[in-house]
Amino acid sequence: MSAIAGILADRGFAVSGSDPRDNAVLQDLRGRGVRVFREQSASTIAAIRSGTSHAPVVVVSSAVPESNPELQEARRIGLDIRHRSDLLASLIATQTSIAVAGSHGKTTTSTLLASLLYATDHDPTAVIGGIVPAFGSNGRNGDGQLLVAEADESDGSLVKFEATLGVITNLELDHTDHYPNLDALIATLQRFARGCQNVLANRDCPVLRQHFQAQAWWSVQSCDDVQFAALPLELNGDSTLAAFYENGVQLGTFTLPLPGLHNLSNATAALAACRLQGVAFEVLRQAVESLQAPGRRFDYRGTWRGRQVVDDYAHHPSEVDATLAMARLMVSSGRSPLPASPQRLLAVFQPHRYSRTAEFLDAFAQALSQADAVVLAPLYAAGETPMAGISSAALAAAIQRIRPELQVEVSDSLEELTEAVALHSRAGDLVLAMGAGDVNGLWGRLEQRQPCDPALPLAA
């Protein structure tokens, strides 16, 4: 929502919005002329209408409930109400556009793509679900001809997008509050693909291979039957050296300053999309070396008493597994992008939604079991009604069925979580906080914590 608001403001529209919180994103929007209300009430609609002779268009996302007083007032007086996806669809339709979809890696891939285009003087417009370090924002009204958009599948609204190029990173069941099964999710992404002029897809994903047709494919496993490939030559805890192939011919090598095979796949998708737009590989090769991940993607927050605290958005088993595997590589290789190479891995995880936790309980447990120690935050409901037998305690029990010797702590509040991390971690630990809820404030809570008993280390 904030990305679209900023772009429309930059294009001369009068934009207003409301948010009870305050943060850097809202401060940025105010600086771009957006009027921000701190209270969400019916009076907000009256205040907006009083400043103009035009009837405002009210834009909502799927996260806005029908009980929202502003939405209720807008409906009462008959204002034009649009879904966020309708505005994004209009933006996508007015420019040469690249829409990035898929279960995992959308934000990172679209961030890397927009960053590469920006670094190679193409200055794209961008609408992305995370902060792009190159812009310092999640949205940009660029002067170039291209638009890069993250196409979220969570509510199915991406079927409205008719992009010049659709990029699909991978596909597996998620958002079980909206999709009853994988077939329903596949059908939605197939509708998205049919609406794009061309499709670039990940050949390494078995679901995409079986159910999708693409004009171009990429892989990080093989050069066979793909138009683009990046094969790893060195996998380190702080970077990846890879050879880039186009139609089976090696164009050269590049060093990606992001570790992990999943990041290599995201970067390969971004490189392939740029090549399809005619950007020279040699120019891209140089630009790759300065790439940065978006905010909340292995985001180093600071060091507290020798513990390096990292925040990550991972909230699906595959994302948790990939993030922990990347962190494990840092421990084992002695190389990392952090100030110091970590000695041990303490996973802090907040389950997100009862429906997702119930569907993937055993898969979450398997992914988390690769840590040296686990601390679980209370489940973040995201508005869902509690489900019997589904909780952080149930996840802890599932983890210990896999690794009985692994010590797992369960917290009933964020305050307890902070204390558990403080008491059961040790200097040299990488404290990796994962989740899509409010666990991302761990670093700040540790900093504000009052001194207490000396830290008690978990068993190695």
To the query of whether residue 96 is one of the catalytic residues in this protein, the response is no
Cβ pair 437, 411 in contact under 8 A: no
Q: Which two tokens stand for residue 229?
A: 């490939």
Given the residues 106, 108, 125, 153, the one annotated as active site: 106
- Residue 246, strand partner residues: 228, 249
To the query of whether residue 107 is one of the catalytic residues in this protein, the response is yes
Q: What is the dihedral of CA 33, 36, 42, 46, to 10 degrees?
A: -30
- Give the SS3 label for residue 119: helix
- Give the SS3 label for residue 330: helix
Given the residues 108, 111, 125, 150, the one annotated as active site: 150
| 12 Cβ neighbours under 8 A, 6+ residues apart | none
Measured in degrees and rounded to the nearest 5, phi and psi for residue 390 equal -110, 115
Q: What is the dihedral of CA 329, 335, 341, 345, to 10 degrees?
A: 0
Distance CA 116, CA 268 (A): 12
Cβ pair 135, 69 in contact under 8 A: no
To the query of whether residue 416 is one of the catalytic residues in this protein, the response is no
Helices 317-333/361-368 angle, 10° precision: 10
Residue 414 CB neighbours (<10 A): 17
Given the residues 44, 107, 125, 323, the one annotated as active site: 107
Burial (0-12, 13-18, 19+ Cβ within 10 Å), 133: middle
What is the Rg, in whole angstroms, of the alpha carbon atoms belonging to the chain?
Answer: 22
Residue among 105, 147, 144 nearest 127 (CA): 147
Residue type at position 455: A
Cβ pair 424, 373 in contact under 8 A: yes
For the annotated catalytic residues, the residue numbers are: 106-107, 150
